[in-house]
Amino acid sequence: MENFACVRTQAVLAENAYKYGFILRYPMGKQEITGTSYEPWHYRYVGEEAAREIYERGICLEEYFE
């Protein structure tokens, strides 16, 4: 049950963090760009406007600043 709770918590966080200005800092599939492998626990505050754009475009922070 504990693993299910962790997975569910991560899913809820991934779906809603941007609404509060947070992004998943090192998302899956972006290692070539970020230089760091996927870290599901690593969130960063970037502000609501930037977080929404990053989330909606499916990009990472490095791509946002390009």
Give phi and psi for 28, each to the nearest 5: -65, 140
Q: Is 39 a catalytic residue?
A: yes
Q: Report d(CA 56, CA 42) in Å as an integer.
A: 19
Give the pair of three-digit tokens for residue 10: 């991560």
Which is the catalytic residue, given 39, 48, 62, 63? 39
Known catalytic residues are: 39
